[in-house]
Amino acid sequence: MEQVDTVIQGLTSFPTASGLATRLAERHLERNGIDPAPLLQKASISPRSLAERGRISAKSQTLLLDLVSRAARDDWIGLTLAGECDLREIGMLYYVAASSPDLRDALKRISRYVRLGNEALVVRLKERPVCSVELSYSGVQRHQDRHQIELLAFAFLRLCRNLVGRNLAPIHTKFIHHRTGDLGLISRLFGCDVEFDADADEIVFDMDVMQLPLVAADPFLNELMVKTCDEAMAVRSTNLSPFRTVVENTIAPLLPHAEATTRTVAKRLGLSERTFARRLASEGLSFGEVLDQQRRDLAMRYLEEDLQASQIAWLLGFHQPSSFSHACRRWTGKSPSEFRRAPKTAAAARSEEATF
């Protein structure tokens, strides 16, 4: 309960990121003859701040990767950028992990210091009965993203492989967001089956990998890097999520299973339904409003991807396709088929609604 209360104390500044993913995206666009300036502007990212390696809004970076995916016509842009990255560009986080004695200690260092790279990212390590590394967001809406979380997951896996000097293959990998079509690429890159529409963003290894020694283990460097990272963490502000974002990120994995109810979400947050409703009311919200807006956001994306109405209904937790059709007409004034035929695309609608 204390942990939940810590996370949901009112509104604070938005989380920031070091901008590595943004710089990778900018370089990728330039190599492919695409001007990054208009996309940076749409994502409200200052080219000067980027050039000076200043910190940028984590939310803006999420939006940028979506824009870059469309401009580059690469639906797996996160995997592409993670594959192009020189892992040393991760900075302090790379060196504090690489100098650790074994993979267990490296993973503990990553989970402890990950906010130095992206304040919105949370890494949780569980060691029993398997080694489970769970990624989640704080202060950024998870349901608005798929490219950044895939980038982070693949970069993390590449880092683990680099640290131990072997091609580690997870037992299983899963993501909360939806994917359609050929999943062969991501399965080959991860070396395992990859599940979507899951209950968490998670990479699972066999427990034996935890004991693997690191090829660049250096106790003297590690001591220095731990001290440096601790000092850097001390000066980073604590960016907490507004309660709405906490609720949205709890709803996201529940939607395809039609379990996104007040009772279930409140229970997952360790709150009574009454306290849960009061927390939302303090931000001028109700659970129904948050759920409805989140469904609308996702519906716009799924309609753009030409998913069948029955499939969208399931992904959004509607019991009948007709319920989704009624909701779509309420949101847009059009049926799903009419909305698809409209001149204004869902992508344009989302871009206009995004504020940073």
- Following DSSP, what letter does each residue of 291-334 receive, concatenated? HHHHHHHHHHHHHHTT--HHHHHHHTT-SSHHHHHHHHHHHHSS
Q: Given this model, what pLDDT does residue 240 score?
A: 53
- Shared domain for 112 and 254, answered yes or no, is no
- pLDDT higher at 237 or 142: 142
333 and 213 share one domain: no
Compute the distance between CA of residue 47 and CA of residue 49 in angstroms, rounded to an integer: 5
Tell me: the pLDDT tens digits for 165-224?
999 999 999 999 999 889 999 999 999 999 999 999 999 999 999 999 999 999 999 999
C-alpha triplet 23, 164, 137: angle, nearest 5°? 45
Query: What does the pLDDT average to over 50-57?
Result: 89
* 289-319 pLDDT per residue, tens: 999 999 999 998 899 887 899 999 999 999 8
CA distance 198 to 173: 10
pLDDT on residue 49: 84
**pLDDT tens, 191-207?**
999 999 999 999 999 99
Give the domain-ending residue among 235, 257, 275. 235
Q: Does 70 lie in the same domain as 9?
A: yes
Question: What would the mean pLDDT of 230-251 be, rounded to a whole number?
Answer: 80
Please report, for the domain that includes residue 344, its CATH number: 1.10.10.60
In this prediction, residue 237 has a pLDDT band, given cuts at 50, 70 and 90, of: low
Region 83-109: mean pLDDT is 96
Residue 236: its pLDDT value, please?
Answer: 67
Neighbours of 84 (CB within 10 A): 12
Mean per-residue pLDDT for 325-340?
Answer: 91
What is the mean predicted confidence (pLDDT) over 87-108?
Answer: 96
Of 305 and 36, the structure prediction assigns the larger pLDDT to 36
Does 292 lie in the same domain as 200? Answer: no
Question: Does the structure show a pLDDT above 50 at 9?
Answer: no
* Domain hosting residue 189, numbered range: 2-235
pLDDT of residue 350 exceeding 70: no
pLDDT value at residue 353? 44
State pLDDT tens for residues 113-152.
999 999 999 999 998 888 999 999 988 999 999 999 999 9
Query: For residue 205, what are its two tokens?
Result: 């290894």
Of all residues in the chain, what percent carry a pLDDT higher than 70?
91
pLDDT of residue 66: 96
Q: Tell me the three state secondary structure of residue 16.
A: strand
Higher pLDDT pick, 12 / 317: 317
Give the model's confidence band at 13: pLDDT under 50 very low, under 70 low, under 90 confident, else very high: low
Q: Is 137 strand, coil or helix?
A: strand
Q: Do residues 293 and 311 share a domain?
A: yes
Same-domain pairing of 279 and 348: yes
Confidence of residue 345 (pLDDT cuts 50, 70, 90): very low
Report residue 255's pLDDT band, with 50, 70 and 90 as the boundaries: very high
User: Do 186 and 42 share a structural domain?
Assistant: yes
Residues 86-113, mean pLDDT to the nearest whole number? 96
pLDDT at position 305 is 83
Q: CA 39 from chain center: how many Å?
A: 20
Are 295 and 314 members of one domain? yes
229 and 133, same domain (yes or no): yes
**Residue where a domain terminates, one of 205, 235, 265:** 235
Q: How many domains is the chain built from?
A: 2
Alpha carbons 106 and 95: distance in angstroms, whole number = 10
Q: Looking at the structure, do residues 185 and 258 belong to the same domain, yes or no?
A: no
pLDDT value at position 355? 38
Residues in the chain: 356
Of the residues 235, 268, 284, the one at which a domain ends: 235
Can you give the pLDDT at residue 12?
Answer: 41
Predicted confidence band of residue 241 (pLDDT cuts 50, 70, 90): low
Same domain, 255 and 340: yes
The β-bridge partners of 135 are 123, 201
Same domain, 175 and 289: no
* Average pLDDT score over the chain: 89
